[in-house]
Amino acid sequence: MQKKKTLSRVILLFTAVLLLLSIALMTSCGRKKEILQREGPYDIVIKVKSTLGDEWFFDLDTKEMYVEYEYTGNEIDFEMTSYNLPYDYWLKDYWYDYINYGDEFKTDCLYYDIDGVQAEGHQYRSAKERGLYVYCFICDGVRLKYRQCLLKVTIV
């Protein structure tokens, strides 16, 4: 009789464990399936880097950043190096190289001299002369939400 009670308790415990495991697996698989089938575009965090090694992270709340450098006569390049999907459950810690998705990203730059006059007809990629450089990093793609971030660089 004692063996029968013990056996029924073991079977009951085993059944309970299997039930809990199956519920846990269905819940996590459902979440993964939901993420993989998301139709909407993703929010992104943008990482910008200079040739001097400085980095800026444009998180979801940041639209503009400012930086100031002393004039040296040397060129400083600014480029978007990667992006991140902060709300993606499975890939939130992974940084994507934006070059693989080049058609979704664009960089523009405006230059204003020290008198505040905008230089027209020039495409600036490097900051060298005294003045204000406004770098505009744009993401406009099907998979990613539209995003425009400004890095305002002043050389004094």
Helix (H, G, I), strand (E, B) or coil at 42: strand
Regarding pTM above 0.75, the answer is no
pLDDT in tens, 102-133: 678 888 999 999 998 998 766 677 899 999 99
Sign of CA dihedral 110, 111, 115, 117: negative
Q: What are the tokens at 74?
A: 């040397």
Distances (CA, A) of 28 to 89, 96, 153: 11, 25, 45
DSSP state, residue 118: B
Amino acid 32: pLDDT: 47
Backbone angles phi, psi at 34, to 5 degrees: -60, -45
Q: Report, as an integer, the average pLDDT of 18-42.
A: 59
Backbone angles phi, psi at 150, to 5 degrees: -115, 130
* Other Cβ atoms closer than 10 A to 137: 24
